[in-house]
Each structure stands twice: as C-alpha cells, then as structure tokens.
Copies of this chain bind each other. A is one copy, B any other.
Amino acid sequence: MSYLEQLRALGLDLLPVPTPIGNFRNVIRIGKLVYVSGQGPREVDGLGRDVLTQDAYQHAHLVGLNILSVLADALGDLGRVGRVVKLQGFVNADSDFTEHPAVVNGCSDLFIAVFGDNGHHARSAVGVASLPNNITVEIEAIFELRH
C-alpha cells in the first residue's frame, strides 16, 4: 500500500490545507529536508489546557493529520517522503503537568502507522505557557525526501 492508502486504511484522509495564521509558509524544502511549520489541531481550537491527557492525545493525532496534509499538498504526493526525521511537540500545560510524552504520542503513533519503519523519529516534548488560539498542542516536523 502507498502511504496515502495506508492513511485511508486507518479510516483517515488528508484535510484541506490551512492558511498560515501568520506571515510564514506551512512547508519549506531545502535539498532533501522538508521543514513543516508548527501545526495545531484546527478542528478542536480553543480548548487549551483544560483537557484530559487522553483527549490531548487525540488532538496531537489531529495535528499529525494536519502535518501530513500540508506536506502532501506541498509535495504533490506523500510517496515522496523518505522518512520522518524529528518532531518538536509543545503542549499547552500547567506547571504540574508531567505527561507530555503521552500527548505527543498521538502524532508519533500516527506517523509510525502510516510510514512504518520510516515513521520512527527523534522528538522533544515540553509544556509551554500558552499557544496560538489556545490550542492544546502545537507540533513542528522535519521530514527527509526519498530523493
């Protein structure tokens, strides 16, 4: 199966590409590296930190889908992805929150489900004081192209 078919086999599909909420581009390609700007879970804006970890996991899952959507739009075809390189996850979190990795797993799990062995990546996950539009989690990503 192609990566897109793999995504659809999970019951998901690419989403319309969001307009950047600032003066930036969603995707920049430099050689074989592709930098994807920090994406949020557009479909559930405005929830901030008042969500359970299990719900925040689902938001990170949506972030992952948004990352794949802007990536597919920029590349024309997800099949050009060689591998996921790195994620940086910023969780909208109180000072006593400690489960950031469990939140960002929502995105990581999706990428591994779609890309298989090529989905494994390096990652950081931290708790930030606030996020644009009071989203629950923002994640930026680096991918390597196949060629």
A37 touching B95, Cβ below 8 Å: no
A120 touching B38, Cβ below 8 Å: no
Give the docked Cα–Cα distance between A28 and B130 (Å): 29
Collect the chain B residues with CB atoms within 8 Å of residue A99's CB. 132
Q: State how many angstroms separate the Cβ of A142 from the closest Cβ of chain B.
A: 8
Residue of B nearest to A130 (CB): B127
Give the docked Cα–Cα distance between A142 and B30 (Å): 11
Q: State how many angstroms separate the Cβ of A146 from the closest Cβ of chain B.
A: 13
B23 touching A108, Cβ below 8 Å: yes
Give the docked Cα–Cα distance between A99 and B134 (Å): 9
A21 touching B126, Cβ below 8 Å: no
Collect the chain B residues with CB atoms within 8 Å of residue A27's CB. 122
Q: State how many angstroms separate the Cβ of A18 from the closest Cβ of chain B.
A: 12
Considering only residues 29-45 of chain A, those with a C-beta below 8 Å from chain B are: 30-33, 35-38
Q: Does A85 lie at the interface of the complex (its beta carbon under 8 Å from any beta carbon of B)?
A: yes
